[in-house]
Amino acid sequence: MTSETKLLDGMVVASLPPSPTIMHDPWLTTREASPLADMAASLNARLEGTSRRNPKRKPRWDAAQRRLAIVQNLVANLAMLAFRHQPGTRLAVQAHKQAVNRYDREELPRGPLITTLKLMAEQGLVHYHQAVFKQLRTTIEPAPQMRAMLAGSGAALGDISRAPGGETIILKAVVGRGRPKVLVDYSDTVETLRLRAEMGTINAALARSDIRLCGSRPPPDQLVRVFLIGSPEAPASFDGHGRLFRGFWEFLPRAERAGITINGERVVELDYRAMYVHLAYALLGAGLPGRDPYDIPGLERHRDAVKKAVASLFFREGALRRLAGELRELLPEGWTASRLTAAVAARHPAIAHLFGTNIGPRLANAESGVLVAVLLRLLSEGVVALPIHDCVLVAESNKEAARTAMLQEARRLVGVALPVEEKVVQ
């Protein structure tokens, strides 16, 4: 045991610096008759034999099935973590008790899930990182023993499956700067039913398609739309944000996207250029800027800095008074927050009054609405596309169909054909 690890109530609890995290997915499971399913069954038998339940009491069949479903889910999540993400990445788990809501999976009640995790920690299978009140979620990561079991099982990403169900329209709330956003339950309306039906159409089409990465089928993804409100007490609203998440292709560096094929064809990437700036012009009914909107005098070689600065001006209430560390490092020496704001405003006088008004969530919502419309239109034409916020990946033979859909759906929804460019997939 290292100096960075301590025992707490018999559990291995690692005290380490903050690490990248992914959210626990309650709907993952193991594919039937697969090496990963065999591993989960063996692990479940081991945990059953070491649990603290009364050995004289015959276990209920439904309770035993629930515990097996929990182990299958945790093994699938840990396998996803080990196979897809860099070492040190953790799995964030909702540990505190709360009323059951639309995001929960009935077979995975929170109490037994956490009990199983703690039992796995006692067995040296996972490192269990307890939550820090109002700062960090409970997280876990596979211990060396678990990684060795996964490696020795012969399991692969294709052994991970998905249980039926799972909410695709997710509402989250801001609870404080630097703190994790929380899930918000809501009542369905005509709007949410429509949004969910759209996601159902998209996800069903993706499930039917032959999508591969370097020749192998990745685990089944279920895309979701994530909307955001200002606080847990705010009324449920679906006009802020709404981007699509949870596609495996979103996590890949651009160079690695070259390994993606759709129905056997390599993909190309089509991107709405500088979409937030162009959307701001379009929503005001103003003519679009004639050249690259991130081309700011004095910052011609610092496009990434300008792009980040513009996003900061859209997603804030009030003036930009100081430069955050990352933005400051991207800018040349001598640039201040006020100088940067003035330079961007001089380049874009038609939309300068929007800076500091937190119009960003509305722009993000318009962006996601256009992308969903593009996906649905392409599906109606028999074309499958993979979304990445303001761009799509499509089979090379469908490039022009996708470009036409992007131009025309933007014109239909925001009144102008937003510029589209092709980016190189190495």
Q: Which residue numbers in the chain have pLDDT < 70?
A: 1-19, 51-59, 96-98, 132-136, 426
In a domain, 153, yes or no: yes
Nearest to 266 by CA among 84, 426, 158: 426
Q: In what order do the strands lie in the sheet with 90-93?
A: 21-23, 90-93, 138-142, 126-129
Query: Which domain, by its residues, includes 143?
Result: 1-166
Please give the pLDDT value at position 413: 97
Q: What DSSP state is assigned to residue 313?
A: H
Please give the pLDDT value at position 100: 81
Please give the pLDDT value at position 61: 82
Bridge partner list, 388: 391
pTM for the full predicted model: 0.84
Q: Please tell me whether residue 255 adopts helix, strand or coil conformation.
A: helix
Please give the pLDDT value at position 20: 84
In a domain, 373, yes or no: no
Please give the pLDDT value at position 255: 84
In a domain, 125, yes or no: yes
In a domain, 401, yes or no: no
In a domain, 162, yes or no: yes
In a domain, 91, yes or no: yes
Please give the pLDDT value at position 43: 96
Nearest to 357 by CA among 269, 270, 284, 250: 284
In a domain, 77, yes or no: yes
CB 277 within 8 A of CB 414: no
Please give the pLDDT value at position 182: 87
The Cβ of residue 395 has, within 10 Å, a number of other Cβ atoms equal to: 21
Nearest to 375 by CA among 406, 397, 396: 406
CB 241 within 8 A of CB 169: no
The Cβ of residue 32 has, within 10 Å, a number of other Cβ atoms equal to: 8
In a domain, 57, yes or no: yes
Domain count, the chain: 1
Sign of CA dihedral 84, 251, 406, 197: positive
Nearest to 411 by CA among 380, 376, 386, 374: 374
CB 39 within 8 A of CB 151: no
Please give the pLDDT value at position 374: 98
What percent of the residues of the chain are helix, what percent strand, and what percent coil, each to the nearest 5?
40, 20, 40
Please give the pLDDT value at position 59: 65
Nearest to 365 by CA among 193, 246, 182, 238: 238
